[in-house]
Amino acid sequence: MTSGANTLVLPIVLPLLGAFLLPLVARFGDGLARALGIVLVVVNIFLGWTLWSAVGTEAAVTALGGFEAPLGIVLYGDRLAALFVAVLAVGALIFWPRAEHGGVKAYTLTLLLVAGGSGLVLSGDLFNIFVFYEIVAVASYGLAASSGDKAGFGAALRYLVLGALGSSLVLIGIGLVYAAAGTLNLADIARLAPEKLSGTTGLAAFLLLVLGFGVKAELFPVNTWVPEVYAAAPMRVTAILAGVVSKLAMVVILRLLVLVFHDPAAISLLMAVAIVTIVAGEFAAYRASDLNRTFAYSSIAQLGLVALALTIPATAGILAAIAVALHHAVVKPAFFVIAAKWRGPLAGLAGGARVAPAAAGLFVLLALSIIGIPPLPGFWAKLVLLGGAFDAGGAYAFAAAVVLAATVVEAAYLFRVVARIWQPAAGAKPAHFAFSDLSPALLLGVILIVATLFVAPIGTALSGAAASAADAGSYVARVLPGRM
């Protein structure tokens, strides 16, 4: 147990504890519960930050209960994990529910989401990953149904069915890994993988794990819940699910790729899935009928980009994945904030720029960034991604060409909306935004602009995080000292 141990345990334990305490606290007033929840989330941001500054290139490792790896349960915190603990908490803070959004139930579920998500990125063994994945899943099913409107229940139930089936796949995959390697500790599996998991069993396990985690990570073809849920769930939930939770599943896939599955067949499998995801997402968005679905499909395509980035060898791929994921985590929630007010068919958006100039301007900024127009952060993310792809050559160059073509489609559907917004209103005018409606999106827009100005230091920091996340040898050495 090192001094860094608390920063690994607390981001999971505190929100989990808080989630179960909140219903009790709420008896003394809803405001108190809300305040406690916010405090816990802020503490998580702080813990993420502390972990980030503490770990540097050497990751922090904690064996819970004093049982050392590979027998005990291990938490592994590197900068990648710290980053996503903090991003998840920031997302939860920005989109923290209010009393009218379900009150203490929503607070509890959100805290549960934060606890499970933090656990997901910090866990050092497969079975804990499964457990935390399920916590995240249950919390998100509950949140998805919490809109109280009619579409919510159906979407949530269909989401649940798919998600539970996906979890079963994950469980089978874990079982296969265990059957082959005889351990569930990621570092131990990493050590044994070249010997035990390089065959058909390993590949089958990878397939099942990718499809299982792919439900949350919005990978084709197990992402059919996405448009339904994002159109029906409350905006705050959609923003967190699309912005952050989907990336957490990607982090798990990243760990699996770095540590366990180096098989070229596995890589090409993921690449094929990623390409189909990108194409299906962007093209479906082109024909989407309203903003919410447009952004849902666009979110699918962006997650496809992350998956594609993960297949690119070495640090470049992981850096690209982190960059695309982070950029999307900033942009897409802001988009959903705008879509929450501008519901209904796209044709009804005419005149939006006159009614809500700030929202319209923000929309253009976000659209430019997600398309990847320099000097906005989205451009640099795409530059790293495509640069890595062209460096790798071969099938990656083909994938890059697909991404470039999909970008044009992306611009087509986003700027079709922009053109619509700037047209004079025909019939009913689009909704007006109160400042409090738009403020989360404005905050994210400011973050985007600040990130544009500080893109060089951010790039350096992320490169460091990517380099340490890509270092499988150091992972094994940290978790299993003396076993290399």
Interaction with another protein in 293-322: which residues (CB under 8 A)? 297
The token duo for 198 is 């390089």
Which listed residue (30, 103, 158, 395) binds another protein by CB under 8 A? 158
Question: Which positions from 213 through 232 interact with another protein, judged by CB under 8 A?
Answer: 215, 221-228, 231-232
Cα gap 52→77, rounded to integer Å: 9
Cα gap 176→394, rounded to integer Å: 32
What is the smallest separation between the CB atom of 315 and another protein, expressed in angstroms?
A: 12
Strand residue runs (E) in 206-296: none
The residue type found at 458 is: I
| C-beta of 409 vs 443, nearer to another protein | 409
DSSP code, position 123 = B
Query: Which residue is listed with tokens 């809109």?
Result: 147
136 binds another protein (CB under 8 A): no
Question: Which positions from 21 through 80 interact with another protein, judged by CB under 8 A?
Answer: none
375 binds another protein (CB under 8 A): yes
461 binds another protein (CB under 8 A): no
List beta partners, residue 75.
Answer: 62, 123
Which listed residue (9, 121, 138, 402) binds another protein by CB under 8 A? 138
What is the smallest separation between the CB atom of 219 and another protein, expressed in angstroms?
A: 9
Question: Cα dihedral sign for 161, 163, 164, 169?
Answer: positive
Which listed residue (35, 99, 179, 434) binds another protein by CB under 8 A? 179
265 binds another protein (CB under 8 A): yes
Which listed residue (13, 442, 463, 464) binds another protein by CB under 8 A? 463
User: Do 336 and 370 form a contact (C-beta atoms < 8 A)?
Assistant: no
- Between the alpha carbon of residue 51 and those of residues 179, 289, 461, the distances in Å are 34, 43, 14
Which listed residue (5, 280, 395, 467) binds another protein by CB under 8 A? 280
Cis peptide before 15 (omega within 30 of 0): no
Which listed residue (35, 404, 434, 446) binds another protein by CB under 8 A? 404
Question: Which positions from 231 through 250 interact with another protein, judged by CB under 8 A?
Answer: 231-232
395 binds another protein (CB under 8 A): no
What is the smallest separation between the CB atom of 35 and another protein, expressed in angstroms?
A: 28
| C-beta of 54 vs 349, nearer to another protein | 349
Listing DSSP states for 32-44 in one string gives HHHHHHHHHHHHH
3-class state of residue 400 by DSSP: helix
Cβ count within 10 A of residue 213: 27
| C-beta of 41 vs 285, nearer to another protein | 285
What is the smallest separation between the CB atom of 174 and another protein, expressed in angstroms?
A: 8
| C-beta of 66 vs 345, nearer to another protein | 345
453 binds another protein (CB under 8 A): no
At residue 429, what are phi and psi to the nearest 5 degrees? -80, 150
184 binds another protein (CB under 8 A): yes
What is the smallest separation between the CB atom of 302 and another protein, expressed in angstroms?
A: 15
Choices 7-15, 238-246, 367-375, 442-450; region in contact with another protein by CB under 8 A: 367-375
Cα gap 220→272, rounded to integer Å: 10
Question: Which positions from 190 through 209 interact with another protein, judged by CB under 8 A?
Answer: 198-200, 203-204, 207-208
Which listed residue (269, 359, 366, 370) binds another protein by CB under 8 A? 269
Nearest one of 447, 267, 435, 273 to 356, comparing CA atoms: 435
Number of residues that bind another protein (CB under 8 A): 110
User: Do 477 and 484 form a contact (C-beta atoms < 8 A)?
Assistant: yes
What is the smallest separation between the CB atom of 136 and another protein, expressed in angstroms?
A: 12
User: Do 355 and 420 form a contact (C-beta atoms < 8 A)?
Assistant: no
Question: Which positions from 75 through 114 interact with another protein, judged by CB under 8 A?
Answer: none
Cα gap 454→9, rounded to integer Å: 31
Cα gap 334→438, rounded to integer Å: 9
Question: Which positions from 417 through 446 interact with another protein, judged by CB under 8 A?
Answer: 419, 422-424
What is the smallest separation between the CB atom of 304 and another protein, expressed in angstroms?
A: 12
Which listed residue (21, 32, 409, 467) binds another protein by CB under 8 A? 409
Cα gap 231→398, rounded to integer Å: 33
Nearest one of 442, 428, 443 to 355, comparing CA atoms: 428
| C-beta of 408 vs 434, nearer to another protein | 408
The residue type found at 163 is: G
